[in-house]
Amino acid sequence: MTEKILSTKKNGMAMMMLFILLYILSFAGIAIGTGMGDAAGILLTVISGFWAMFGWIPFLGLKVLRPQEALVLTLFGKYKGTLKGDGFYWVNPFCTAVNPAAGTKLRQSGDVNSESAKTAAAGAAEVISPTTGYPKIDKKISLKIMTLDNNKQKINDCLGNPVEIGIAVIWRVVDTAKAVFDVDNYKEYLSLQCDTALRNIVRLYPYDVAPNVDTTGDGLADEGSLRGSSEIVAQRIRDEIQEKVTNAGIEIIEARITYLAYAPEIAAAMLQRQQASAVVDARKLIVDGAVGMVEMALEQLSEKNVVELDDERKAAMVSNLLVVLCGNHDAQPIVNSGSLY
């Protein structure tokens, strides 16, 4: 379906004044025709009475659009066109506005995010239809940039570890005809595609950097991860969603990761693993430094001929220095008042 922009002029105010004037003339015509009593008077009365009875129908063609709003119109089931641009319009009163997603509420800007806010907004903004008795649903389509905050999902990363991740997708409608006619409900369609795209991309990455993992598809291990490559992951998610929703007339402007954590059932174990890895790295650094300091001490003692040590004494000195330098607590010195030999 190709979008067709209606070139209707913003003549709503002029048409409304015309219809009101015709109503005034119809009431005057009924009074004058009734007083005349002849055939011309009867004809004037009939015409004026017909307008007085059915003159409300043209008022249905009056449409008001605010900035960044659109209205998709159909005439007896056929796509007539789309009104875009703020203003006061008059169209064929038999045209019907179509928006299958008008009553769909998602966790996004433009919709109500909390139950209390929803109740307050409903009481202030709902308009009850006099014909059906149900709240009226605004069929206008917003062209504004909106943010969809999808629910957090539990997904297994490439190593099989369950992680919880949530994304925020910034999007807007760019083709109203595709959004209305090519998919059943473009809001629900977008939400579903966000979920599937997120699952498809997350399963390619480990939560943290892991050895022998290829995240780019080039056959070589790399350092990509959900935690360290969030910008790249978000861009791939955005491209994946855009590919799926193009046929719905939606443009994905940006996607961002808003929440990332291990699933609760393995979070404690993974925290212990990270702590153990940090301890090992710290110990390795301490040992490397201690060995360097021992080597430097032995070299300087030998160069300056301070003392000559045999292999057994060197081994004892190295052991004592390593204990002092690598210990968790401060060493308690023992003074030897006798001879070393």
d(CA 228, CA 225): 5
Task: Indicate whether 259 pLDDT > 80.
Answer: yes
- For 154-181, write each residue's pLDDT tens digit: 898 888 888 999 999 999 999 999 999 9
Most confident option among 114-123, 154-163, 217-226 = 154-163
Q: Give 129: exposed, middle or buried? Use CB within 10 Å, 0-12, 13-18, 19+.
A: exposed
The partner residues of 81 in beta bridges, in order of sequence, read 73
- Residue 217 Ramachandran class (φ > 0 left, ψ -120 to 50 alpha, else beta): left
Residues 150 and 122 occupy one common structural domain: no
Q: Are residues 14 and 91 in the same domain?
A: yes
The rounded distance, in Å, linking the Cα atoms of 136 and 127 is: 6
Helix %, strand %, coil % of the chain (to 5): 45, 20, 35
User: Given a cut of 50, is residue 114 above it in pLDDT?
Assistant: no
- pLDDT per residue as tens digits for the range 229-242: 889 999 999 999 99
Residues 111 and 202 occupy one common structural domain: no
CA distance 234 to 214: 17
- The proportion of the chain whose per-residue pLDDT surpasses 70, expressed as a percent, equals 84
| Residues 151 and 249 reside in one and the same domain | yes
**Is 337 inside a domain boundary?**
no
* Residue 224 shares a structural domain with residue 307: no
Length of the chain: 341
Q: Are residues 57 and 90 in the same domain?
A: yes
CA–CA dist 113, 107 (Å, integer): 6
Q: What's the CA gap between 87 and 65, in Å, rounded?
A: 5
Regarding whether 153 and 123 lie in a shared domain, the answer is no
Asked whether residue 341 is assigned to any structural domain, the reply reads no
Determine the structural domain holding residue 88 and report its residue range: 1-98
Asked whether residue 107 falls in the same domain as residue 94, the answer is: no
Q: Which pLDDT score is estimated for 215? A: 83
Q: Binning pLDDT at 50, 70 and 90, where does residue 190 land?
A: very high
Q: Which residue bears the tokens 């570890």?
A: 161
Q: Mean pLDDT over residues 178-195, rounded?
A: 92
Q: With respect to residue 332, please indicate whether it lies within any of the assigned structural domains.
A: no
Query: For position 115, what pLDDT does the model report?
Result: 44
Q: For residue 41, what are its two tokens?
A: 């008077």
CATH of the domain at 207: 3.30.479.30
Query: For residue 225, is pLDDT > 60?
Result: yes
Q: Residue 220 carries which side chain, given as an amino acid letter? A: L
**Domain end residue (candidates: 137, 160, 185):** 137
Q: Which two three-digit tokens encode residue 22? A: 């015709």
Element (H, E) at 31: helix 12-36
**340 within some domain:** no
Instruction: Check the CA dihedral 220-225-231-237 and report its sign.
Output: positive
Classify residue 215: in a domain, yes or no: yes
C-alpha torsion sign, points 218, 222, 227, 230? negative
d(CA 202, CA 236): 10
Q: Is 250 found in the same domain as 209?
A: yes
Q: How many domains does the chain have?
A: 4
161 domain-assigned: yes
pLDDT tens-digit series, residues 49-67: 888 888 899 999 999 999 9
Do 236 and 222 share a structural domain? yes
DSSP symbol at 179:
I
* pLDDT band with cut points at 50, 70 and 90 for residue 329: low
Q: Is residue 7 part of a domain?
A: yes
pLDDT value for 121 = 40
- 339 assigned to some structural domain: no
Task: Indicate whether 160 and 225 sit together in one domain.
Answer: yes
pLDDT of residue 67: 92
Claim to verify: residue 125 and residue 79 sit in the same structural domain: no
